[in-house]
Amino acid sequence: MNIEDCKSFLNYRPLKVGKAALVEKSKGKFSLLYDNRVWMNYNTVTHWQAADFLVEYNQAAGRVIVTGLGVGCFASMLCNNPNVKEVIVYEKFQDVIDLFYLLAEESGLQTKKLKIKCMDANEIKDEVAHSMCLLHHENNTVNEIFESVRHIANNNSVNFLWFWPATQKYLEYVGEKMLPINTNTFQQWSTSLNIKNFPIQVDEKIISDIISVKENNLKLVTYNSERLLMYEQKYKLKNFSQRFMKTSKE
The string of pLDDT tens digits covering residues 49-97 is: 899 999 999 999 999 999 999 999 999 999 999 999 999 999 999 999 9
The string of pLDDT tens digits covering residues 128-176 is: 999 999 999 866 788 899 999 999 999 999 999 999 999 999 999 998 8
Whether 68 contacts 97, CB under 8 Å: no
> How many CA atoms lie within 13 Å of 26's alpha carbon, on the beta-carbon side?
2
- Domain span at residue 119 reads 3-248
pLDDT band at 217 (very low <50, low <70, confident <90, very high): confident
So what's the pLDDT on residue 243? Answer: 53
pTM: predicted TM-score of the whole model, two decimal places: 0.85
Overall domain count for the chain: 1
Higher pLDDT, 139 or 7: 7
pLDDT band at 99 (very low <50, low <70, confident <90, very high): very high
CATH number at residue 147: 3.40.50.150
The string of pLDDT tens digits covering residues 164-207 is: 999 999 999 998 899 999 999 999 999 999 999 999 889 999 99
pLDDT at 209 over 90: yes
